[in-house]
Structure 1
Amino acid sequence: MTSHTVSTTTRQGKVIGLHTGQTNVFRAIPYAAPPVGPLRFAPPSPPAAYAELDCTRPGPLAPQLPSRLEDVMGPLNHPQSEDCLHLTVWTPALDKRKRPVVIWLHGGAWQSGGGAPDWYSGEKLAALGDIVVVAPNYRLAALGWLYVPGMPANLGLLDQEAAIQWVAENIESFGGDPSAITLMGQSAGGSCIAGLLSRKPLFSRAILQSASLGRGFRPAHEASLLGQKVLEAAGAQNLEQARALPYHELLQAQRAPAVLEALKNDEIGRALFCPVIDGEVIADSIEEIREGNAGKADVLIGYTRNEMAAFPNVQIDDASQAAGDKVFGAPSRDWAQAACAQGRSAWVYRFDHAPTQRYGACHCIELPFVFGTLDAFGAAPMLVGTTAADAARLTERIQSNWITFIRDGSVDWPQFPQVEILA
């Protein structure tokens, strides 16, 4: 079936999308003003009004260096721009049906990734589940997560919050229900959901996939020292000078020897950039957030059997298995336990599909099955050896449960303490 244009109206103006046969897709809708010039290192500002906006083509990703998982997942070759605060919407129909909505927060260690590469196409989920899928970009690396005293912290988290707010205000125009929002995040995106729950969440269901909850958020004094090292490596003495730099100089500063040396002092092994306990945007540690806020959302939460095998120079052995459980496994089970204790429903899974001996069931391997996008992942090394039968079986099992959770708040296995093995 050939595609044709469709349209709907947001609070900012008319948007033109494409009907693709299965769904309607609107790409690169701005949910905030471009964070450039004086708005670099500032919280997101409301988007400008427009008469009509062409949303038929993909937008750029947030500025980033290549992912450290490129050897496992494959490369992500997309244009980049600081004007990246956009989201993509996939919807089965532009009517008043008020479908459940799921908002996807991508992973990438707060340094790489994007909302709507073909890896994360929401088309199949939207069509299969009769749901609306939304995927925002958010600012990455220094542009989104740098912290030095005197500047707002956690800008990337505030971007996510602005995207969720935009969805709440506009999703009825796309056939969605603003009162039925689920947040779904993987890795860094999953950890961010914990931070968002500590604020004023507009969602009451959450899917956390391989969230690195065991590494927690970074204390402000540690983040400040690292932030200063990044600024110095980029050749800036203060934020005003940093605002004037080409963004690629801020990206290259991530690789500076002085920055890498300072990062060695983080005994927990956190990424260079991550959420900061600044006392304003995020006031508590992940453990405190879990004990005080896990009761704000029903959860579907899980991890892969060999999480650490995706990372450079890590083999599958007893040490990496223990590290994976410390960072991903045990904290996920702890979150489920806290949610149950606070009166919420919680389901836990472990993803065990391991087509290669080298990578096993590594970090990120569940993603193609969640979105039904194995074709988009192509010859990703982590997937080599996956048979068509395995792909079909796993995709059906995962998508049916994820969709049931998004629609009805349940899945087809017993609640925690059972850990369902998906293999």
Structure 2
Amino acid sequence: MGDKAIRSTTQHGEVIGCRDNGTAVFRAIPYAAAPVGALRFEPPAPPAPYGTRDCTQAGPLAPQLPSRLEDVMGPLDLPQSEDCLHLTVWTPGIDRKKRPVVIWLHGGAWQSGGGAPDWYSGEKLASRGDIVVVAPNYRLAALGWLYIPGATANLGLLDQEAAIQWVHDNIAHFGGDPSNITVMGQSAGGSCIAALLNRKPLFRKAILQSASLGRGFRPAAEAAELGRRVLDAAGAATLEDARRLPYQDLLKAQRAPAVLEALKSDEIGRALFCPVVDGDVIAEPVDAVREKMAGHADVLIGYTLNEMAAFPNVRIGEESQRAGEQVFGAPSMAWARQARDQGRSAWAYRFDYAPTARFGACHCIELPFVFDTFKAFGAAPMLAGSQPHDLRRISDTMQRNWISFIRDGAVDWPAYPHIELIK
């Protein structure tokens, strides 16, 4: 562990992290027990006490297939394991300074991604903003979002809730303020914020980046049919059978012809797995949730100019622009309007920087600008042709304003209905 080792404590034991360019980082801290064996398909359970735990190395991703956006963002080739309910903490100091905290919920259509990849390193945000950044994994695909009537639904959402609870209970030991938490999510992670606000949120500020609110949550009957087909394709007659399968069998089932055929009936193109209106964890459709919950948090919300261009076989044109407005743009601005009308601060943006004609300002393109992780994104096709001075200028604008919102709930452009064009 060397001279850079640094220690802190949690409710479950001591953790050992390290210094990264002056920022303390603790990787793969368990916020819940490994969801394996009898705990597969069960709500997150508390982690076992661990005495002292080495948190200097990155943990695995949740089990997943390659992202359908790999041709845009680049590959995410990292180890995977069901023992994935970990989070990473970046902090400027292990002290009692009570810094603002932001929790990052990654995107990936509820089927791919993770909190640990260098794409989402919180090191620069933490250092620049004197804030604490936390990035959890949560269960993906069938392991996190399979719906079988009678079983607990939306396990990935409950994982996120458990991670937020862990932050509330432990972050003071990492120099953070549990009373000043912002939750920030992109795409699937942004959509989950709506559902989290409709439960018992421990946060009152939210950043939603390209949340696919226009696709909503899936009705229970449709989700049950898809769940049945996934189990059939994996060779499981019951959920108990599925608990005994290698997780790879559940991943392969996502691509079974019967599953793909069932998806064709979804006219608004939801992902195979997404939040389900099960009547318990999620009680209402997303529009009803938004109308009631937009008043529960100050919000920084926006989307990109050419969202749909990131997806396979989609080109920039009138049809894809209409689809992007329906799925991402219009519902995001409706959220801002309803938040404002219910007395909350609301700030809106659209990301317009388009370095390539092929992808334009596509879904996910703003991510390296928010985190200043261009090196980690490397030769991502969506960034091809970018000029270094543009990357630095736009990243500076976004980080400055995102940090301002996380710290103080405001940015340096006018409140909604103004929409700031970032380009």
**TM-score normalised by structure 2 residue count:** 0.99
Matching residue of 1:124: 124
**1:240 lines up with 2:247 in the alignment:** no
* Residues 10-65 of structure 1: per-residue CA shift (max 9 Å, x gap): 00000000012320000000000000000000000001101100000000000000
Matching residue of 1:249: 249
Matching residue of 1:354: 354
Matching residue of 2:294: 294
Aligned ranges 1:265-304 → 2 under 5 Å = 265-304=265-304
Matching residue of 2:381: 381
Aligned ranges 1:301-380 → 2 under 5 Å = 301-380=301-380
Q: List runs of 5+ in structure 1 lacking aligned partners.
A: none
**1:223 lines up with 2:223 in the alignment:** yes
**1:202 lines up with 2:179 in the alignment:** no
Q: Distance in 1 between matches of 2:50 and 2:143?
A: 26
Q: Distance in 2 between matches of 1:309 and 1:252?
A: 26
**1:402 lines up with 2:396 in the alignment:** no
Residue 3 of structure 1 and its aligned partner are, at CA, apart by 6.4
Q: Distance in 2 between matches of 1:120 and 1:22?
A: 18
Matching residue of 1:393: 393
Q: 1:285 to 1:3 in 2, by over 3 A?
A: farther
Q: What is the identity, as a one-letter code, of the residue corresponding to 2:338? A: A
Q: What is the identity, as a one-letter code, of the residue corresponding to 1:32? A: A
Q: Distance in 1 between matches of 2:216 and 2:142?
A: 19
What secondary structure is seen at the aligned counterpart in 1 of 2:58? coil
* Residues 238-290 of structure 1: per-residue CA shift (max 9 Å, x gap): 00000000000000000000000001111111000000000000001111001
Matching residue of 1:106: 106
Contact 1:299-1:345 within 8 A present in 2 as well: yes
Q: Distance in 2 between matches of 1:162 and 1:72?
A: 31
Q: Distance in 2 between matches of 1:50 and 1:242?
A: 29
**1:32 lines up with 2:32 in the alignment:** yes
Q: 1:3 to 1:390 in 2, by over 3 A?
A: farther
* Residues 337-380 of structure 1: per-residue CA shift (max 9 Å, x gap): 01011110100000000000000000000000000000100000
Q: Distance in 1 between matches of 2:307 and 2:114?
A: 21
Q: What is the identity, as a one-letter code, of the residue corresponding to 1:383? A: L
Q: List runs of 5+ in structure 2 lacking aligned partners.
A: none
Matching residue of 2:259: 259
Matching residue of 2:183: 183
Q: Distance in 1 between matches of 2:310 and 2:144?
A: 25
Contact 1:41-1:143 within 8 A present in 2 as well: yes
Q: Distance in 2 between matches of 1:291 and 1:110?
A: 23
Matching residue of 1:18: 18
Q: What is the identity, as a one-letter code, of the residue corresponding to 1:339? A: A
**1:162 lines up with 2:177 in the alignment:** no
Q: Distance in 2 between matches of 1:265 and 1:100?
A: 44
Q: Distance in 2 between matches of 1:345 and 1:95?
A: 31
Aligned ranges 1:15-94 → 2 under 5 Å = 15-94=15-94
Q: 1:237 to 1:384 in 2, by over 3 A?
A: same
Q: Distance in 1 between matches of 2:357 and 2:268?
A: 27
Contact 1:3-1:20 within 8 A present in 2 as well: no
**Count of aligned pairs between the two proteins:** 422
Residue 404 of structure 1 and its aligned partner are, at CA, apart by 0.1
* Residues 179-208 of structure 1: per-residue CA shift (max 9 Å, x gap): 000000000000000000000100000000
* Residues 104-161 of structure 1: per-residue CA shift (max 9 Å, x gap): 0000000000002000000000000000000000000000000011110000000000
**TM-score normalised by structure 1 residue count:** 0.99
Q: Distance in 2 between matches of 1:176 and 1:258?
A: 48
Q: What is the identity, as a one-letter code, of the residue corresponding to 1:71? A: D
Q: Distance in 1 between matches of 2:353 and 2:47?
A: 42
What secondary structure is seen at the aligned counterpart in 1 of 2:153? coil
Question: Considering only aligned residues, what root-mean-square deviation do their CA atoms show, in Å?
Answer: 0.7
Q: Distance in 2 between matches of 1:390 and 1:268?
A: 35
Q: What is the identity, as a one-letter code, of the residue corresponding to 1:348? A: A
